Amino acid sequence: MNRTSTPPFRRPRKEPAPPKHRPVRFTLDDTRASEVCIAGTFNGWHPSATPMVAVGDGRWTKTLELEPGMHEYLFVIDGRWVADPGSAVTVPNPFGGINCCVNVR
């Protein structure tokens, strides 16, 4: 007699939920700037990958969707790497300057 059995029922593997991204708004006031970008750990420190938007009167803004955790960043103003004057948290960087930090919860 040939017995065929069906494999036991297996529940599909539950994949871990991806981290929830949170909106983080960056702003800068600089009336002399003609181009402002933001570079950091969230975009591989690429200086032109994330341009900010001029909203008038020297104000620049950009909202990014970031994963929870600590992210380091700097503004790139007309090609110059500049710390965010509004950042309360900074860390030393390997170039003798500082990086700004934002903690996304």
Q: How far apart, in whole angstroms, are the C-alpha atoms of residue 20 and residue 75?
A: 25
CA dihedral over 88, 91, 97, 100, signed as positive or negative: negative
pLDDT recorded at residue 36: 98
Average pLDDT value over all residues in the chain: 92
Q: Which CATH superfamily is domain 22-104 in?
A: Immunoglobulins (2.60.40.10)
Domain ranges of the chain: 22-104
pLDDT band at 13 (very low <50, low <70, confident <90, very high): confident
Summarised one tens digit per residue, pLDDT across range 35-80 is 999 999 999 999 999 999 999 999 999 999 999 999 999 999 999 9
pTM of the model: 0.81
Q: Is the pLDDT reported for residue 1 higher than 60?
A: no
Angle at 40 (CA atoms; ends 51, 54), nearest 5 degrees:
20
51 vs 37: CA distance, rounded Å: 4
> How much is the pLDDT for 79?
98
